[in-house]
Amino acid sequence: MKVMIDLCVVPMGVGVSVSSYVAACQQEIEAAGLSHLMHAYGTNIEGEWDEVFAVVKRCHEVVHELGAPRVTTSMRIGTRTDRDQTMADKVQSVTEKLTTS
Amino acid sequence: MKVMIDLCVVPMGVGVSVSSYVAACQQEIEAAGLSHLMHAYGTNIEGEWDEVFAVVKRCHEVVHELGAPRVTTSMRIGTRTDRDQTMADKVQSVTEKLTTS
Amino acid sequence: MKVMIDLCVVPMGVGVSVSSYVAACQQEIEAAGLSHLMHAYGTNIEGEWDEVFAVVKRCHEVVHELGAPRVTTSMRIGTRTDRDQTMADKVQSVTEKLTTS
Amino acid sequence: MKVMIDLCVVPMGVGVSVSSYVAACQQEIEAAGLSHLMHAYGTNIEGEWDEVFAVVKRCHEVVHELGAPRVTTSMRIGTRTDRDQTMADKVQSVTEKLTTS
């Protein structure tokens, strides 16, 4: 089962500057070889369900390993059985509607 | 690694009445023997990471099996290494602050 | 327009114990006289759109006033035009499906 | 109070193809003149609290006006009092950590 997620990992108990923790997370995503795109409030990731969720778990583990005693994540998870749709397809589908309207 | 999640599974392409899909999801959670609590906009679940996420995957699978071509879920994920904290502990901790203030 | 939300406010930069901030938020919700229910990973609130969102803003303001330099919230927002549905209705609708299956 | 949000509006009861509803939402965001960036699973928006939340309300209204009887949205909301930080700043902060590590 293919899945597309949007992941926002928030380290708690480490102050307000969390970019080094987010960067460690990004390295896990890249190391997993998954298609992904970071934006200002999370990261889109797509791939096979088990591979994507292995990375989500690694993100929590690595943020704890770096010293954060608590991690709270918010996440969207999308699956569909009617057809394949990549992250690029989703954005293009909306953009087409915008330019032709 | 223990985890507490809040899970809200939304079937798409099946009309506005989705309670039968949500009920199927609840049955998967119960079948897994995980501690859980349903509220009006999701379900709290706690347990070992791999067991909890196996149930999340089963929820997507069962909702597709029941005929929903598309599923979009929103989820919060909490882990902490400083101490054990159950769902009941979290609610009690806030309630105590409210009653003593 | 009636709305039902699920709100999870996370103070950042104040350590791992955040229950006093969450309690301050609960007091704002109660002061607003809105129907609400706290669970282990958020709070359901229902009411008129503008009243509900005034409380969400007050929550961010009060958590900052208490000393949190950064706040990150995750929230679900539900509206429907086909019929009225309370928080209790939603839970009952799923529970009925569970007990009759 | 400045705010940055990540907004994902999901129309229910209108089938699986929702890009025209999402496009209508994008037009509301653009009409409001707010800084924004669409990704594959939502849209980042930043601006003054009241202006940003007026657009969130307009998104629900317009999706209902287009015929969706039910709308469920998931949203992240970030505020900070310690310093100004734009969407571009957040991405750059993580990217710098990645390239120097």
CATH label, A2-99, candidates 3.30.70.930, 2.60.40.10, 3.40.50.620, 3.40.50.300: 3.30.70.930
Give how far C97 is from chain B: nearest CA, Å: 6
Q: In the β-sheet with A2-12, what is the strand arrangement from edge to edge?
A: A35-39, A42-48, A2-12, A70-80, B70-80, B2-12, B42-48, B35-39
Distance CA C23, CA C26 (A): 5
Distance CA D16, CA B69 (A): 7
Contact assessment for residue C98 and residue B30, using Cβ atoms and an 8 Å cutoff: no
Specify the pLDDT at position A100: 73
Which H or E element spans position B48? strand B42-48
Give yes or no for residue A25 having a pLDDT over 90: yes
How many C-beta atoms surround the C-beta of residue D17 within 10 A?
A: 13
Contact assessment for residue D73 and residue C77, using Cβ atoms and an 8 Å cutoff: yes
pLDDT digits (tens, 9 = 90+) for C81-93: 998 899 999 999 9
Specify the pLDDT at position C101: 61
C76 near D CB under 8 A: yes
pLDDT bracket for residue C20 (50, 70, 90): very high
Dig out the tokens for B6 from the structure. 């809040």
Give per-residue burial for A59-93: e unless 16+ CB within 10 Å, then b: bbbbbbeeebbbbbbbbbbbbbbeeebebeebbeb
Beta carbons of C40 and B42 less than 8 Å apart: no
Give how far C18 is from chain B: nearest CA, Å: 9
Question: Which of A20, A46, A93 is facing D97, going by the closest CB pair?
Answer: A20
A86 near B CB under 8 A: no
Classified as helix, coil or strand, C31 is helix
- At residue C39's C-alpha, the angle toward residues C38 and C42, to 5°, is 80
A19 near C CB under 8 A: no
Distance CA A64, CA A71 (A): 7
Contact assessment for residue A14 and residue A70, using Cβ atoms and an 8 Å cutoff: no
The mean predicted confidence, pLDDT, of chain A is 95
B41 near C CB under 8 A: yes
Question: How far, rounded to the nearest angstrom, does the alpha carbon of residue D10 sit from its chain's CA centroid?
Answer: 12
Residue of chain D whose Cα is closest to the Cα of B69? D16
Specify the pLDDT at position D100: 73
Per-residue pLDDT of chain D (101 residues; tens, 9 = 90+): 999 999 999 999 999 999 999 999 999 999 999 999 999 999 999 999 999 999 999 999 999 999 999 999 999 999 999 988 999 999 999 999 988 76
Specify the pLDDT at position B101: 61
Specify the pLDDT at position D101: 61
Give yes or no for residue A99 having a pLDDT over 90: no
Specify the pLDDT at position A101: 61
Please give the model's pTM, rounded to 2 decimal places.
0.96
B101 near D CB under 8 A: no
- What's the average model confidence in pLDDT over C66-78? 98
Dig out the tokens for A5 from the structure. 């997620």
Contact assessment for residue C40 and residue B87, using Cβ atoms and an 8 Å cutoff: yes
Tokens 């006289």 -> residue: C33
- What's the average model confidence in pLDDT over A32-51? 97
Instruction: Name all chains with 3 or more CB-CB pairs below 8 Å to chain B.
Output: A, C, D
Give yes or no for residue C100 having a pLDDT over 80: no
pLDDT digits (tens, 9 = 90+) for B44-99: 999 999 999 999 999 999 999 999 999 999 999 999 999 889 999 999 999 999 88
pLDDT digits (tens, 9 = 90+) for C22-70: 999 999 999 999 999 999 999 999 999 999 999 999 999 999 999 999 9
Long-range contacts, stretch C65-69, CB < 8 angstroms, 24+ apart: C66/C11, C66/C20, C66/C21, C66/C24, C67/C14, C68/C11, C68/C12, C68/C13, C68/C14, C68/C21, C69/A16, C69/C12, C69/C13, C69/D80, C69/D81, C69/D82
CB within 8 A of C3, min separation 6: which ones?
Answer: C46, C47, C48, C49, C52, C53, C77, C78, C79, D60
Give yes or no for residue C6 having a pLDDT over 70: yes
Where are the domains positioned within chain C? 2-99
